[in-house]
Amino acid sequence: MTQADLTDKPKQTREGEQLDAAKVEQFLKDSIKGLSGQLSINQFPSGHSNLTYLVSVGDKQLVLRRPPFGKKAKTAHDMGREFRILSALHPVFPYCPKPLAYTDDPAVMGCPFYVMERISGIILRKDLPKGLALDPKQAAALCKELMDIHISLHKLDYKAIGLEDFGKPVGYVDRQVDGWSRRYRDARTPDAPDFEDIMAWLDKNRPVGQARAAVIHGDYKFDNVVLDPANPLKIIGVLDWEMATIGDPLMDLGCSLAYWVQKGDPAEVEQIRMMPTNIDGAMTRRELVDYYRQQTGLAIDNWPFYFTFGLFRLAVIAQQIYYRFYHGQTKDNRFAMMIFAVHILEKAAQQAAEQKF
């Protein structure tokens, strides 16, 4: 298998998530100069939130992002906001895809959406793809590459690139704890745990004082970065800026490591692993935190809080997705399994709060 065979590929659009090709084509050709040829639309199937499509016009490949169908969290899926941060970051953070066009005209699709360039490459899912093998030294190097790019994002001067009003860093942690607790209660279904003990713990243990503010991605992990097909140890793109804002970079780190299932974790946690973070040589969560501290000079005195919050927030996201399936708002059968992840994450969060995870 050649490296090109490992490039992330779309599939046929899921039932109920088709786009009006004629309207999309008209919008694109009106908005982006030089497009010509036949249009085709396929869908990248692995996302759980905003929907992502590959739109081909002649020999030009574009990526279209739109909100999901069905009930949406009140402040989520802001396409205009996502387009704005890409526009600000692309010139100074080359891992961002170049944004090309945005509209909130409901006549086109019934919702706001935007189009960006496609960064074609390898995206790691649950396990390494067949044809890609990493020895322990390479696995460690890729983990450091992932962390180095995350750190470079956190070091950007957000005021200098026009994002001073993009978020509200004062009170950010408080708003996150209160907001995600409210979202969980709103999305809870009868078969979901109540999480009240975790929410109370987070409320009691939230950091005191104002943290350093930075551009934070909000969902930074292996399956949101693109690897160079010619050199899979090099990251060439960072995707999915839906949750990006200005806030505490340690909250961003905690949310990222909530996804990090490492070798030796309990078997039930391994069941919800989404990326190959358990391969031989992959850095552990503790090693990643220590590396981040060394490279940034930031003190990380309350790590159990940041990690517990990350696990809780991940559970809320899973529950919001499951809510849509439970109430028949999506036909995507992947969502039916989310309730099991919510229960597993509750136990993991309890252990993290006790510094046992």
**Domain CATH number, residue 66:** 3.30.200.20
Whether 131 maps to a domain, the answer reads no
- Indicate if 89 and 150 belong to the same structural domain: no
pLDDT at position 70 is: 59
Same domain, 161 and 83: no
Task: Please tell me what DSSP assigns to residue 56.
Answer: E
Number of domains in the chain: 2
Residue 236 phi/psi, 5-degree rounding, is -115, -10
CB 276 within 8 A of CB 127: yes
pLDDT of residue 209: 77
Q: How far is CA 58 from CA 13, 34, 37, 246, in A?
A: 19, 10, 4, 38
Choose one of 59, 82, 117: the last residue of a domain: 117
Q: Domain residues for 333? A: 136-353
Residues 219 and 78 in one domain: no
**Cα radius of gyration rounded to whole Å, the chain:** 20
In whole angstroms, how far apart are CA 47 and each of 5, 189, 269? 21, 22, 20
122 lies in a domain? no
Question: How many angstroms separate the first and last alpha carbons of the chain?
Answer: 38
Do 67 and 110 reside in the same domain of the chain?
yes
Strand partners, 60: 57
d(CA 306, CA 301): 10
26 and 103 fall within a common domain? yes
Residues 248 and 112 in one domain: no
Express each pLDDT in 34-92 by its tens digit: 999 999 999 988 765 789 999 999 999 999 999 987 544 445 578 999 999 999 999 99
- Provide CB contacts within 8 A for 272, sequence distance 6+: 261, 340, 341, 344, 345
Query: How far apart (Å, rounded) are the C-alpha atoms in residues 139 and 235?
Result: 13
Q: Where are the beta strands (DSSP E) in 35-125?
A: 39-44, 51-57, 60-66, 99-103, 113-117
Are 71 and 187 within one domain? no
Tokens representing 253?
């780190």
Domain identity same for 179 and 247 = yes
Whether residue 297 is found in the same domain as residue 204: yes
Position 127 in a domain: no
User: Residue 180's closest CA among 349, 346, 317, 323?
Assistant: 317
Q: Are 91 and 175 in the same domain?
A: no
pLDDT (0 to 100) of residue 250: 96
Indicate the residue among 72, 89, 117 that finishes a domain. 117
Question: Helix, strand, coil: what percent of the chain each, to 5?
Answer: 40, 15, 45
Residues in the chain predicted with pLDDT less than 50, given as ranges, are 1-4, 71-74
| Assigned domain for 72 exists | yes
| Region at 240 (left for phi over 0; alpha for psi -120 to 50; beta for the rest) | left
Q: Are residues 51 and 184 in the same domain?
A: no
User: DSSP class of residue 141?
Assistant: H
Which H or E run contains 214? strand 214-216
Same domain, 329 and 221: yes
